[in-house]
Structure 1
Amino acid sequence: MQLFPCPFCGLRPETEFHFAGDLGNLRPEGFLDVSTETWTDYLFAHNNPRGESKEIWKHLTCMEVFTMTRDTVSHKVTSSTALLPEGDAQ
């Protein structure tokens, strides 16, 4: 079993986490006026890169959401960082 680093709880088993999507895949605004093609791209067209990938994950134990950078080939996690609310600076 792989261990993932939660920035709040430390290393935990992968079964405690939920993949929430690619970082930067933003929901289209004004959903009543969005075309079918735009919704289809948002829901189904994902990056799926070979190598480094930046993703959003949720730790189901502490319910915190964070970003994780990992290699999709080796599965090595290189970083995990807490997501800041909009407008907050690091």
Structure 2
Amino acid sequence: MSFSVLEQLRSAHEDIENIEKAMSMVLMDKNKNSKQTVSCEHALKYLIESSQSKSKTAVEIYQDKDGMRTDDINALAGQRTDKKAGDVWT
């Protein structure tokens, strides 16, 4: 499947939000039960790494080095940059 760049960006933001919710739940569990401190620390480490990875993906999309994000935005706005003479659909 080929998702648009904007869909990938939306997905990254949604994933980051879900990871943040999971982190808050782990922190609440950590405070409730001192016996699970080590497992909570490991879970937090994994969640932080996941959040950093998704954030890096989002930053790369925002940097738009290949121009695909701009192309998607222009396509949604109805501004085509590849118009051809005699194109029926323009």
TM over 0.5: no
Looking at secondary structure, tell me which structure has more strand per residue. Answer: 1
Q: Which of these two proteins has the greater Rg computed from alpha carbons?
A: 2
Looking at secondary structure, tell me which structure has more helix per residue. Answer: 2
Provide the TM-score with structure 2 as the length reference.
0.29
For CA contacts below 8 A with separation 6 or more, give which structure has more relative contact order.
2
Provide the TM-score with structure 1 as the length reference.
0.29
